[in-house]
Amino acid sequence: MKIVCAIDGSRYSEWALDWLRHLAHPDDSSLLLVHAVDLTQFKTLPKLDRKARAALVKVLDFSLEGAARLLEGAELKAARTWGRVRARLLRGRAAEAIVRSAQREQADLLVIGSRGVTEFQPMLLGSTSRKVLMQTPCPVLVVKKPARALKKVVLGMDGSIESWEAVSWLRGLPKEIRPAVTVAGVIPPLPLESLRIPAQAVTVSDQIEGVLRREAQQLTARVAGTLKVARFSATGVVVAGPPGAELVKLAGRERADLIVVGSRSGRNAQDYFMGSVADTVVKHAPCSVLVYRG
């Protein structure tokens, strides 16, 4: 497995580094640590006199030196566990630079903290993390909590190619990592916004929900069976409501360590920010989230 882990000195990126040992075997994986320094904003500053320009250059040099030290410390820490670990200083806007690095590496997994040192704490999801989620074609683990043994996972299952690939990803975890998995099928609410709907429409709606529930039960049972073959403890559940919100609530009830959810590639920025299931889950989840991009 090829893993890229973005670090920035925040506690979230330190947690990201710690999380890796719960998802991959060091002997079978390579790890690339990346940190981005964005100097592009200084290219558009007004003309400075020679003294001010020299001071700015000195400050930027300090920034690059600090970034190099950050990477060196992270590399030394990771080397205690990982046999193959490298570190790379990236130049440019953080999200774009991290995505390009993951693409060049043909990464199997990108790991990033949900917030960074420059992002306000009240935000539910940092702007860099959100942009990375939008643009990265490989699975992305967004770390929101300190690392701990992976014991309980909630898997959102909707029958899409991406959700089935997420199942395959779980099955591919090292044999010693076998958490209990709750396979969740969610029946979305039917678009009956009007309060004055005919009684017949209510009856038809109930019938449709019954069909959807049976199909969801069959799907979650099938996925749970697939995971059991790979020696996971797995159960299927079906809930009804807005999918993202229901997965978040289920993870809270289960005290899950991780939510795994699929997300379609090629989604443009407007569609993603308008509230995809994956975006809702990552913003509001009480635990870390792995978004499987197909």
Q: What is the pLDDT of residue 197?
A: 56
Q: Residue 43, SS3?
A: helix
The letter for the amino acid at 40 is T
CB 184 within 8 A of CB 220: yes
Task: Please list the alpha-helical segments (H only) found in 189-290.
Answer: 199-229, 243-254, 269-273, 277-284
CATH architecture of 1-146: 3-Layer(aba) Sandwich (3.40)
Vertex 24 angle, CA 112 and 238, to 5°: 75
How far apart, in whole angstroms, are the C-alpha atoms of residue 94 and residue 115?
Answer: 12
- Structural domain spans, the chain: 1-146, 148-294
Q: What is the gyration radius of the CA atoms in the chain, in angstroms?
A: 22
Domains 1-146 and 148-294 share a fold: yes
Q: What is the pLDDT of residue 193?
A: 52
Please tell me the CATH code under which domain 148-294 is placed. 3.40.50.620
Q: What is the pLDDT of residue 45?
A: 60
Q: Residue 188, SS3?
A: coil
Q: What is the pLDDT of residue 249?
A: 97
Residue 238 bridge partners (DSSP) = 185
DSSP 20: G
Segment 132-149, tens digit of pLDDT: 888 888 999 999 999 888
CB 102 within 8 A of CB 139: no
Which residues of the chain are under the pLDDT cut of 70? 41-46, 48, 53, 116-126, 191-206, 264-275, 294
C-alpha pair distances (Å), 136 with each of 35, 98, 189, 250: 16, 9, 30, 27
